[in-house]
Amino acid sequence: MNRKREISAEEALQRLIDGNERFLKGAVRMSGPSVETITRLTKGQQPFATILGCSDSRVPPEWIFDAGLGELFVVRVAGNIISPEVAGSLQYAGAHLHTPLFVVLGHEGCGAVQAALETKFQGVRQRSRIQLLVDGILPALKGVDPRLPPRKRLAQAVEKNVRRTVQTILESPEGKARRAEGWMKIVGAIYEIRTGRVRFLEDSGSASHITGRVTKGPRGHVKK
Ligand SMILES: [Zn+2]
């Protein structure tokens, strides 16, 4: 079945920004899904954004963007890194759900990124499978300033890690294809643990390349 995408990447981004504002004000609209919503969603899902975030218990995307059932396609993994499984989930979101917006969401005080810094600067070896996660983060930490005080250094590393994940998605064959089509946007963002605010990295590489005038959805090739 062909259908027009109901929402552009820009509108999807604005929805996330507005949701985070409601969250900050304590004015969330979500108080649990209605029976109508649950029933409606039995027909299928059409989330307006895909979020790749960290598993940290303090950063559930549905909460911080005040989003309900069926609104966000969420992939969470410690350190918001790309792995084959994560890439597969993102590919599914792009190819089958056609979410117009992809957000890589890092956060202040990320333990996974901190562990990677410890490996990089103190030679700490983590437990076996944690080390696999850390190994996925290490390439992003090139250029992190070891002279910065710990909190600033972690903040710098978190942002670099987000930017690298964004770049990896952009440089994938699918990322390039969607960019060429012009309907999808990828942005990096950082959740500020201390304030609850999400800071979008407008220059995370992607936005400016991909967006421009993203006002229409993909036409005629949306399959359900
Ligand atoms: Zn984290």
Cα–ligand 1 centroid distance for 106 (angstroms): 7
Residue (of 82, 89, 101) closest to 164 by Cα position: 82
Q: What Rg value do the Cα atoms of the chain yield, rounded?
A: 18
Residue 30 resides in a domain: no
Residue 138 resides in a domain: yes
Domain count, the chain: 1
Range of the domain at 50: 9-23+46-210
Cα–ligand 1 centroid distance for 128 (angstroms): 18
Cα–ligand 1 centroid distance for 95 (angstroms): 27
Query: Which residues keep their CB under 5 angstroms from ion ligand 1?
Result: 54, 56, 110, 112
Cα–ligand 1 centroid distance for 111 (angstroms): 5
Cα–ligand 1 centroid distance for 56 (angstroms): 5
Cα–ligand 1 centroid distance for 36 (angstroms): 34
Tell me the CATH number at 193. Answer: 3.40.1050.10
Cα–ligand 1 centroid distance for 224 (angstroms): 33
Cα–ligand 1 centroid distance for 70 (angstroms): 24
Residue 218 resides in a domain: no
Q: Are strands 185-191 and 101-107 parallel, antiparallel or unpaired?
A: parallel
Residue 36 resides in a domain: no
Cα–ligand 1 centroid distance for 58 (angstroms): 9
Burial (0-12, 13-18, 19+ Cβ within 10 Å), 102: buried
- Strand-pairing partners, residue 115, are none
Query: Sign (positive/negative) of CA torsion 99, 6, 213, 179?
Result: positive
Cα–ligand 1 centroid distance for 6 (angstroms): 32
Residue 51 resides in a domain: yes
Residue 82 resides in a domain: yes
* DSSP annotation string for the chain: -----SS-HHHHHHHHHHHHHHHHHT----SS--HHHHHHHTT----SEEEEE---TT--HHHHTT--TTTEEEEE-TT----HHHHHHHHHIIIII--SEEEEEEETT-HHHHHHHHHHHH-PPPPHHHHHHHHHHGGGGTT--TTS-HHHHHHHHHHHHHHHHHHHHHHSHHHHHHHHHT--EEEEEEE-TTT-PEEEETTSSHHHHH-SS--S---S----
Cα–ligand 1 centroid distance for 61 (angstroms): 13
Residue 173 resides in a domain: yes
Cα–ligand 1 centroid distance for 59 (angstroms): 8
pLDDT tens digits for the chain (224 residues)? 334 568 999 999 999 999 999 999 999 987 778 899 999 999 999 999 999 999 999 999 999 999 999 999 999 999 999 999 999 999 999 999 999 999 999 999 999 999 999 999 999 999 999 999 999 999 999 999 999 999 999 999 999 999 999 999 999 998 888 888 888 999 999 999 999 999 999 776 443 333 333 333 333 333 32
Contacts of 30 (CB under 8 A, 6+ apart): 62, 66, 67, 68
